[in-house]
Structure 1
Amino acid sequence: MTATLIYCYDPMCSWCWGFSPTWTKLQKALQGLVDSDQLVIQPLLGGLAVDSDVPMPEGMKASLESTWKNIQATLGTEFNFDFWRTASPRRSTYPACRACYVARDMGSEDDMYHAIQKAYYLDAKNPSDLDTLTECAEQIGLKAESFQKAMAHVKSEGLLEEEIEQARHLGLNSFPSLALLIGDKLIPIPLDYKDHSSMLNTMKKALS
């Protein structure tokens, strides 16, 4: 029986950015299981914040900047704090989630995820904006026009919302989250942001 490792994330979740290097190491360590068809890795979009054109309140901006500083102090993650002064933030992550959904259909979800994170956390660009997301799409080799059409389709059909509902149904309500699905049994995998080996050992034990 092939097991499924579900990775629930939001591309604009700062803890997902902090987890990114360790998640990359874990995926590499699991490659043998993937190659032997014992494991499938399935990304699932969590959706932190709904569509909004409202500027982010100053208090929320200060709170989120403080979270970035906490992650930087705890994990050594790099952030470009200019974002909070130059990018007109909105509390809206659904557009960035849709961009990853669209890229998945085009075989480039991981590339889009990394492109959005780089634009947001390092280049101080706003992934709540379609212009930024289109730029990310072009960087990973997607055509701007077809990307924007697909974005409109995913929004009009409520496809992202269906996926978010699936994540909630599985109890994956924080991001990032990892859970191992073996048959109809879902096993939450406790996260270690600094070392992938404990997660790897937990999974191997569950699979044996």
Structure 2
Amino acid sequence: MKGYKIIYVFDALCSWCYGFSPVIKTLFETYQDKFEFEVISGGMILGDRAGPIGEVASYINSSYKNIESTTGIKFGKAFLTHLEKGAMRFSSEKPAIALSVFKSFQPERAVVFAHDLQQSIYFDGKDPNHNELYRYLAVNFGIDPDEFEKKLMFEEYHNAAYYDFALAKQLQVESYPAVLLQESESKFYLLAKGYTDFETLGLRITNILEEITSKTK
């Protein structure tokens, strides 16, 4: 089954993706020996949509308690303070570049990086625009923080992030989180569109594999 791939399309600034992050991490820990995993940044907040967190504060304030009750995740006091002040800039670009940089070091652990990145933003209240966040994460993964920070400036990883954004559109992902199982170059199965619990994901994987097996008999 290592020929099959599980693709996780998320955005670092997607609050429902934060709620889903423990689920996708558990899925990775459970199935990493059976499937290759890939993480793609969706590019949810770019261009004119990027700006102070205060511009989306009303949405997050109205939804975060629902996310907590549905998923069991908690939004940290430090993040909620940023939300109240409204000044922290929200843009998907830099965290997506950071994911591309991380994949140049440890692509097989991208799911864990995505989880820890969102934990740092939504619980610890770290600013996704500041290099200090990515230096902190680099150290946690045993990566030279100076090397990681230097790569954040390389055009190669900026381009890789925007390639991810285009790939998410090509996969017809319009909302996050989304999880797909890739059977072949042109055959994909949708495992999750929006928050989905681990048990449901596991059942869907089993059903899809049974469907694939039945076609090859």
* Band the TM-score falls in, shorter-chain normalisation: 0.7 to 0.9
What secondary structure sits across from 1:189 in the alignment?
Answer: strand
Task: Give the whole-Å Cα distance in 2 for the aligned partners of 1:193 and 1:51.
Answer: 26
TM-score after normalising by structure 1? 0.83
What secondary structure sits across from 1:152 in the alignment?
Answer: coil
Residues 6 and 42 in structure 1, CA contact (< 8 A), matched pair in contact too? yes
Residues 16 and 194 in structure 2, CA contact (< 8 A), matched pair in contact too? no
How far apart are 1:73 and its partner, in Å?
2.8
TM-score after normalising by structure 2? 0.80
1:143-158 matches, cutoff 5 A: 143-154=144-155, 158=159
Q: Deviations over 1:73-114 (max 9, x none)?
A: 322310022231357322302101111111111115344323
Aligned to 2:82: 83
Q: Deviations over 1:135-167 (max 9, x none)?
A: 332333322321122111146752210121011
Task: Give the whole-Å Cα distance in 2 for the aligned partners of 1:116 and 1:187.
Answer: 27
Q: Does the C-alpha gap of structure 1 residues 144 and 40 become closer, same or farther in structure 2, counting only changes over 3 Å?
A: closer
Query: Could you tell which deviates more after superposition, 129-138 or 162-171?
Result: 129-138
Task: Give the whole-Å Cα distance in 2 for the aligned partners of 1:31 and 1:58.
Answer: 38
Whether 2:174 is the aligned partner of 1:173: answer: yes
Aligned to 1:196: 198
What RMSD, in angstroms, separates the aligned Cα atoms of the two structures? 2.7
Q: How many residues align?
A: 203
Could you tell me which runs of 5 or more consecutive residues in structure 1 were left unpaired when the two chains were aligned. none
Identity %: 23
Q: Does the C-alpha gap of structure 1 residues 28 and 138 become closer, same or farther in structure 2, counting only changes over 3 Å?
A: closer
Aligned to 1:131: 132
How far apart are 1:27 and its partner, in Å?
2.5
What secondary structure sits across from 1:134 in the alignment?
Answer: helix
Aligned to 1:74: 70
Aligned to 1:187: 189
Return the letter of the residue paired with 1:165: A
Query: Could you tell which deviates more after superposition, 157-166 or 83-92?
Result: 83-92
Could you tell me which runs of 5 or more consecutive residues in structure 2 were left unpaired when the two chains were aligned. 211-217
How far apart are 1:187 and its partner, in Å?
1.2
What secondary structure sits across from 1:190 in the alignment?
Answer: strand
How far apart are 1:66 and its partner, in Å?
2.2
Task: Give the whole-Å Cα distance in 1 for the aligned partners of 2:180 and 2:9.
Answer: 8
Q: Does the C-alpha gap of structure 1 residues 189 and 109 become closer, same or farther in structure 2, counting only changes over 3 Å?
A: closer
